[in-house]
Structure 1
């Protein structure tokens, strides 16, 4: 499986592209600010066509380009219903802090929006993706899990959005955030995963469940149980 990405916009939000080797189809995850042009360029060079955009949550730095990308390729966006309102009214999810950056820009939902639920198993572009609802950073945050076959064997992957980072966790001081709920989500949905699970966060570099379990200061005292 091809798993690649690039940091986009002022927020340096990781936009990911997932595709099976030899496939002409792919999945896009979290196309943020200024992501459309580099994404379209990469897809063209790679002869890939997206079949869906998956959103780990509704914050504008992750959804800024979702509507233009979906409309260009005629594909749906997937988001948890608790965050769907932010697609058309992003300031409700961030407060007034971003109003100057947004200016007169108008945001709207893509033509087709599909709502995600905890435990959903999606089959898109030949890739199986499991959805874990992980409220705390936002009420509609999700983790997207899949498995990549490599020369060393299958590697589980978790795209964690802003729930878990390398050495840190998501902020909870924006509307809908809840610190205790976030820790509970991490314990219930991430710390139960295999240590070998690769963690691809919404910002910053990749890590692993083993690394975060061992050294993330925010996870001290947490243990996983489903």
Structure 2
């Protein structure tokens, strides 16, 4: 099993590379300027890329999606509700500024596969389950995958959940950007996030990793539910 991450681009969005079998890998949220870092990790670890998994369509999380997916000839997966965010003509001003300022190749990957939530995707020697988690964006997704073996430093953990900008360590994603909806986010926190097991490791789109048990006990946005 292999897991690593690095913060990409001006907004320091976490880009993850994960493998269950130490031969094949997925990349989660290759954001602005992440392509070279992803390629270096895959080369150093001798991993073959199977897929690009996207938690939502904001450019700080998808900025290198086309570069990575097309370079390796693999599919990229995104919720259908966020697919319009890959159209440069429909970008809001804040997103267009990121794209133009940092030279982002803001185009859809050649093999873009659209999801609704509830699907499974087999990749990197494991099976991922998608969970619709709207609020930050209409098409935010959680990507859940069981751990093939325990972490030595945290043997109680049973699964990874790539949360994007739904929930962070001690915080939640903002809902004041175009497409965000606070009431929908509150419903997602109650019905989706808090329904996860305490043995889930949460790998967010920004900041440090955490666990559902820790967030249930300490995150003020979750404790109020």
Q: Do they fold alike, i.e. is TM over 0.5?
A: yes
TM-score by length of 1: 0.91
Aligned-partner Cα distance in 2 for 1:16–1:102: 21
Q: Deviations over 1:63-104 (max 9, x none)?
A: 000011111101111000000111232863xx2124344328
Moved over 4 A (4+): none
Name which of 160, 163, 167 aligns with 2:166.
163
Aligned-partner Cα distance in 1 for 2:107–2:23: 29
The 8 Å contact of residues 91 and 99 in structure 1, kept in 2 or not, is answered as: no
1:1-226, aligned counterparts within 5 Å?
1-21=1-21, 23-89=22-88, 92=91, 95-103=92-100, 105=103, 107-148=106-147, 149-150=149-150, 152=155, 155-222=158-225
Aligned-partner Cα distance in 1 for 2:113–2:97: 30
Question: Structure 2, unaligned stretches of length 5 or more?
Answer: none
The 8 Å contact of residues 59 and 98 in structure 2, kept in 1 or not, is answered as: no
TM-score by length of 2: 0.92
Deviates more, 1:75-84 or 1:178-187: 178-187
Structure 1 residue 32 displacement after superposition: 0.3
Question: Structure 1, unaligned stretches of length 5 or more?
Answer: none
Deviates more, 1:210-219 or 1:76-85: 210-219
Q: Deviations over 1:19-65 (max 9, x none)?
A: 024x3211110000110111101110100111110100000000000
Aligned length: 219
